[in-house]
């Protein structure tokens, strides 16, 4: 780790890095900053600046292959990913390199998105939007979410905040995680092997797992087929966690009430995707945590970690490459 009295050479990777650099220089002394605004500049910037520390927000064309020079650069000791998911990173040597992430920074924002989705679909707003477009005055009976069942798949920072909001609304909450343990505001904890049975008893299913080899298509055809016809799926994690083709068929055939989808296997969602034309799906463009100042909030968290680095203290939010989070 860097010593307090030495200059820390640092690289900020982002399309618009200047506001982030200003915040870092305001919060942490003794930082020599360089910037990289495109993947085409990465290798040259690494060679000329030789950074110890890198703050990396996702750029167009950022893939495991294009990031390999960063994760193998001899000068780099610590990379902070300006987001939670690291599926676009190649595997790295934990003996030489530390990778941290921004998990937890925008958990409250994502929880708001999920609860808004629950309430919107429960009341039936999509149907009222269609009726409004048709100038149709028709009342559709509905029931409160109080007492309804919410299954949260993944109980990290976001899942726990969703659970707190759901309990405040009077819902019954079931949580799934790889290693079940008691969690506040969760009535029942299950392991992944009980997922089909859990979705069968759920009114709403909210997905909040990182994309790893273990979670790729975790919500597969068998899980989707187990969902009751009144259920709503909400996915604001990663598109590839859900079998998109199986979900489409279930929605089209009305074997599922609806879905709110913020993430997809291919983004942007292609113009010819049949999901666009389903009237029981609400599509948003991967924006569940895209509040106005999201990058500054994540950089605030990074600055706190950078201060720990400068003081020789342990870093927070260290990612395990074997687990993928």
Q: Look-up: residue for tokens 């870093």? A: 315
Question: Token digits for 27?
Answer: 């919060």
Q: pLDDT tens digits, residue range 180-195?
A: 999 999 999 999 999 9
- 64-119 per-position pLDDT tens digit: 999 999 999 999 999 999 999 999 999 999 999 999 999 999 999 999 999 999 99
pLDDT at 102: 96
Provide CB contacts within 8 A for 79, sequence distance 6+: 53, 54, 56, 70, 71, 97, 98, 99, 100
* Per-residue confidence (pLDDT) for residue 212, from 0 to 100: 93
> Omega before 13 cis (within 30°)?
no
Task: State the Cα–Cα distance between residues 255 and 230, nearest whole angstrom.
Answer: 8
Supply the residues annotated as catalytic: 238, 267, 286
The CATH homologous superfamily for domain 107-283 is NAD(P)-binding Rossmann-like Domain (3.40.50.720)
Residues 250 and 254: their CA atoms lie apart, in Å, by 6
- Predicted local distance difference test score (pLDDT) of residue 6: 85
Residues 243-254 have pLDDT tens digits of 999 999 999 999
Please check the confidence at residue 60 and state whether its pLDDT lies above 60: yes
Give percent of the chain above pLDDT 90: 96
Domain span(s) for CATH 3.40.50.720 in the chain: 8-105+292-311, 107-283
Q: Give the chain's radius of gyration (CA, Å).
A: 22
Single pTM value for the model? 0.93
Token readout for 279 is: 């009237």
The pLDDT value recorded for residue 197 is 97
**Rounded Cα–Cα distance for residues 295 and 17 (Å):** 10
> 265-289 pLDDT, tens per residue?
999 999 999 999 999 999 999 999 9
Helix or strand (DSSP H, E) at 207: strand 204-207
Would the pLDDT of 2 be above 60?
Answer: no
Please, what is the average pLDDT of the chain?
Answer: 96
The tokens describing 110, both together, are 């994502």
Q: How far apart are CA 265 and CA 176, in angstroms?
A: 22
Rounded to whole angstroms, the Cα distance separating 23 from 29 reads 11
Determine if residue 137 is left, alpha or beta; phi over 0 gives left, psi from -120 to 50 gives alpha, anything else beta: beta
- Strands of the 188-190 sheet, one edge to the other: 188-190, 172-176, 149-153, 204-207, 232-235, 258-261, 281-283
Q: In the CATH scheme, what is the homologous superfamily, with its name and number, of domain 8-105+292-311?
A: NAD(P)-binding Rossmann-like Domain (3.40.50.720)
Per DSSP, 318 falls in state B
């Amino acid at each position: 780790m860097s010593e307090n009295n030495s200059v820390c050479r640092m690289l900020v990777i982002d399309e618009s890095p200047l506001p982030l650099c200003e915040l870092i220089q305001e919060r942490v002394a003794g930082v020599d900053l360089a910037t990289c605004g495109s993947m085409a500049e990465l290798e040259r910037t690494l060679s000329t600046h030789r950074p110890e520390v890198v703050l990396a927000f996702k750029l167009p064309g950022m893939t495991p292959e294009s990031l390999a020079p960063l994760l193998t650069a001899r000068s780099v000791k610590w990379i902070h990913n300006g987001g939670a998911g690291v599926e676009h990173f190649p595997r790295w040597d934990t003996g030489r390199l530390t990778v941290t992430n921004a998990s937890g920074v925008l958990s409250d924002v994502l929880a708001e998105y999920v609860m808004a989705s629950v309430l919107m679909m429960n009341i039936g707003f999509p149907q009222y939007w269609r009726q409004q477009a048709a100038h149709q005055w028709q009342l559709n009976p509905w029931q409160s979410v109080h007492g309804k069942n919410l299954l949260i798949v993944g109980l990290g920072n976001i899942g726990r905040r969703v659970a707190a909001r759901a309990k405040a609304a009077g819902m019954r909450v079931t949580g799934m995680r790889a290693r079940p343990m008691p969690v506040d505001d969760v009535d029942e904890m299950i392991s992944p092997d009980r997922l089909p049975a859990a979705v069968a008893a759920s009114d709403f299913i909210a997905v909040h797992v990182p994309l790893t080899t273990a979670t790729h298509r975790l919500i597969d055809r068998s899980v989707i087929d187990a969902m009751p016809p009144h259920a709503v799926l909400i996915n604001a994690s990663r598109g590839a966690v859900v079998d998109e083709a199986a979900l489409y068929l279930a929605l089209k055939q009305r074997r599922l009430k609806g879905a709110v989808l913020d993430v997809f296997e291919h983004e942007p969602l292609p113009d010819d995707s049949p999901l666009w034309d389903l009237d029981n799906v609400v599509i948003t463009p991967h924006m569940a945590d895209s509040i106005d100042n999201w990058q500054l909030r994540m950089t605030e968290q990074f600055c706190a970690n950078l201060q720990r680095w400068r003081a020789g203290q342990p870093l927070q939010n260290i990612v395990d490459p074997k687990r993928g989070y």
